[in-house]
Amino acid sequence: MERITIITETRTAIHSRRIIFPIIYVILCVFIVLIFISPPGINGYERAMFGDMVYGQAHKPFVYRALLPMIIRTTTSIIPEETDELINKMLDKIPSVKSELSKSTEEDMFYWEKELYTEYIVAIFYIFLFLLGFVFSLRYLFEGVYKASILSKDILAISALLILPSFFDYMSYLYDFPALCLFTLGLGLMVREKWVLFLIIYTLGCINKETTILLSLIFAIYFVKSAKMLRSKFYWLLAVQLIVFILVKLMLFFIFLNNPGSFVEFHFVDHNLVLLGNISLAAMTALAVIAGLVFYRWTDKPLFLRDALWIVAPLFILTLFMGYIDEQRDFYEAYPVVLLLIYHSAAKIFAKV
């Protein structure tokens, strides 16, 4: 009888967690999206203004990150004009929104254009969905590399969300959360060898951002070292990935051939060179702690995650020359890998306490 009671309580606890944690995810995602879109937000860089991104008029290379703008454009195109007008009127009737938007002028880089209110609402909705998708993609990846309790997965997912706002140190871009979601999901599908779904996500990822090619690097390193796959299948899958990447890049290149800007931007001299000579003690300490947690009991960690960590090297090099080295969002692709490596260290450390 006591055993039945214990089992019932355990099932009740599990059932409660299955209800409570998704609610927590949704609430956290709402707050994080609000932080994400706050100034400078998604309309604060003259080369990648919101309206220009959505309607394909932004500067290169930003305009090449076309997935979410395409989704927003398609969605708003099927919204009736009456609904569009209703959205504008509803926003104008909310005092806090009207007050905030009325302060904005065309001289203010962070203003939201009234004629694009519908696009902004649609964009926020999809940004939220991709962020929530990241949560479940992270859990999916977690299950692919670790055997742990449901509670562990929930704690990891909540921790990932709570840490995420620290990445919002410069601009926020429409392609950020799609990159985080699709890359994490791609890793989860890769470790399970679900290749049809993987190639679909890979294609969407390539349309979203060119750093999706790093999934191919992980694929090559892991499946060469692990010897889990026939060579013929390995070369075929790798070739398909490279062909998809090249075709998507060519398509985007020709679609936006006449857009202003260049294929890449270089910031090594104008930003990173100076910054590297003035790294603070706090930043160095934080990096040392993260590195210590990542490499603690390194050989005990899953091979897939160890191989996936190699993407930090090309990400660092690309960011050093073509990004801002202190812009943490440039390392979104490495975020789920680093989190799961740190989880292993934390689990081992706390097990000894």
Alpha-carbon span 10 to 4, nearest angstrom: 10
Is residue 218 within 8 A of residue 307, CB to CB? The reply is yes
Is residue 110 within 8 A of residue 44, CB to CB? The reply is yes
Backbone angles phi, psi at 327, to 5 degrees: -95, 100
- Pick out the chain residues at pLDDT < 70: 1-17, 93-111, 267-272, 277, 352-353
Alpha-carbon span 33 to 165, nearest angstrom: 9
pLDDT tens digits, 19-71:
888 899 999 999 999 999 988 889 888 899 999 999 999 999 999 999 999 99
The pLDDT assigned to 87 comes to 77
Is residue 195 within 8 A of residue 176, CB to CB? The reply is no
The pLDDT assigned to 137 comes to 97
The pLDDT assigned to 58 comes to 96
How far the first Cα of the chain sits from its last, in Å, is: 34
Which residues share a beta bridge with 60?
261
List CB contacts of 201: < 8 A, sequence separation 6 or more: 182, 185, 186, 189
The pLDDT assigned to 353 comes to 37
Q: What is the pTM of this model?
A: 0.90
The pLDDT assigned to 14 comes to 60
